[in-house]
A and B are shown apart, each in its own frame.
Chain A
Amino acid sequence: MNLNMKLARIEKGYSQEGLAMKIGVSRQTILLIEQGAYNPSIQLCIAICKELDRTLNDLFWEDTNR
């Protein structure tokens, strides 16, 4: 599960559908990224980060020690 992305999206006030529309992908793609069932390309990661005002580290770096 990518909880960081889900939390960032909710904080920003986006629904999955709203975020999907903003970055030009389907809602299911956002759902699968949040569920950890799809690994997005670096371009898509950057588009998501820009829309949610976060860095790549904030959303996609998995810190196992945390």
Chain B
Amino acid sequence: MRDERIQWTNGQIKQQVLWIISILALVSLGIKLALSYTDIIVELVYIGLMTVNIIGRVLIRYNDRIIDESIQKRRGIFTSKMFTIIALVCIALYFIQLPYLEVELILPANLFVSLSLFTGILSYFMIARKKQIYINATIIDLPLKQYHRRLWKRVGILFLFSLAIGVLSGGIYYLTTSMTEAIWMTLVVIFFSFVSVSLEYGLLSIYEKFHSDEMFEQIDGVVRYVPRTYVLISCILLFYYTLKTILIVLNQLDVLQLLHRFYYNLFQDIVVLFDVIYGIPLQVLAFIGFIVLYRSQLRQPTKKPSYFSVFKVLALLSMIYGIVSGLINHILYFIIRFGNPQQGMQLLALNSTISVALAMVISFISLISGLLIYSYMVQNHFPVSKLYLAIVITSFLSFWVTRFLYFQFSSSIQIRMMISLVSSIFTYVVMGILSLLLIVILSKRKRNILPVETVDQG
């Protein structure tokens, strides 16, 4: 498919992404020079190639007084080529120099490259959404199975590219030093980079396929009770909370406390680091998920009660509460671990009391909101609304049963710890799976909103 709109817009998006990464490169270069770091070759090469790109774009319109469509098209094609060259050269250069750097695996060897890969894909996706094209625009219209096949093919090409870079990097290092130790470390870094880039690209691609299909379903007069994009977001959230619960359970198991102090502290640090890195983005993701769900309901021919917009405010408050309480917990952890433990423990006790009081208030707000949503579902003939009601009431009861048991066994730390573990598993894993089941069922059911406008004979 040679869609002129996709080609032109892609050129514009790539130029904007290059500008964003240029800012990262300049900031990274500035910080490294200020700290007297010598590992600046990737940043310098990037800035050099970006300069070539800017000069090339200026030269394209040098002889023409007016910027017309043909010049924009030529500039777009040039930028697209430069984008590919810059990406390939910088990534290859980074991995070729990697074995020569003495780096530890726990931190990225060059934060600029890691950030650029992550930010590049994400900003490409966001700008593309704003300009009404998809990152996989050329294959987005294919049926779901074919789309996935092509997607996996692209991931496979990325894997082969990573493998080629690994062989190139390892080969050059071996030829110049006759050593092999650093090669393994480089291959591990390349593998993790491949996995994280593939995961980010894969999730965004699945999201945009669902988005595109549902947009056209709506034009054709059909809407789902719950959009599939919301199912995808819910899967990510459930995966995160399940993983977090597993880490908390492992952390509180007696066997871990028998480990050497160093390993025990290391494991606790990993648990906190996991939460620090993913906690806040996932709170934001949960809010985005709510907005997706809310907008999908606005598109449906349902009777909206007067209190409908209150849910939006509640979702926003819930996100703010999640972020603030998460930040407070992290700060307290660092005070206890690296600062004044006694003062930290006092603050932790105060924070726990406030959190419990707030959780009690939130449990009632959740129950009332849940019952209002249930009445909306019944009024608009949603399927499996009884399952939703069961989830709302069970969640409320499980919270208060936990509180009651805590009160009953207030003297035994061991029993309280066990109650806390069972409660976490029940709330995040069992109720999470049930909620996901409900969402999946609702996403599979459709309803008509308009008569179908055409029959395809072409």
Contact = CB atoms under 8 A, between A and B. Distances in A.
A41 to B, nearest CB: 6
Range of interface residues on chain B? 20 to 34
A3 interface: no
Interface stretch (B99-107, B318-326, B448-456): B448-456
Given A26-B137, A26-B140, A28-B133, A40 B4 contact: yes
B387 to A, nearest CB: 35
Contacts, number: 69
B67 to A, nearest CB: 15
Interface string A37-48: 110110110000
A30 to B, nearest CB: 10
A29 interface: yes
Interface string B1-38: 11111100000000000000000000000000000000
Contacts of B132: 28, 32, 37
Given A10-B453, A41-B69, A26 B6 contact: yes
A22 B1 CA distance: 11
A13 B458 CA distance: 7
Nearest to A11: B454
A28 to B, nearest CB: 7
Given A20-B141, A26-B140, A28-B132, A43 B4 contact: yes
Task: Name A's interface SS.
Answer: helix
B141 A17 contact: yes
A10 B454 CA distance: 6
A18 interface: yes
B152 interface: no
A24 B141 CA distance: 11
B4 A15 contact: no
Contacts of A50: none
A28 B453 CA distance: 16
B212 A24 contact: no
Nearest to A42: B69
A26 B141 contact: yes
A54 interface: no
Given A14-B456, A29-B3, A41-B69, 11 more contacts: A9-B454, A13-B456, A13-B457, A15-B456, A16-B454, A17-B141, A26-B6, A26-B138, A28-B140, A28-B212, A32-B132
27 contacts: A9-B454, A10-B454, A12-B458, A14-B454, A14-B456, A14-B458, A16-B454, A18-B456, A18-B457, A19-B458, A22-B458, A24-B1, A24-B3, A25-B5, A26-B3, A26-B140, A26-B141, A27-B141, A28-B134, A28-B140, A29-B5, A29-B6, A32-B5, A38-B5, A41-B4, A41-B69, A44-B4
Q: What 9 A-B pairs are tightest by C-beta distance, nearest first?
A: A18-B458, A15-B456, A13-B457, A25-B3, A14-B458, A18-B456, A15-B454, A29-B5, A26-B3
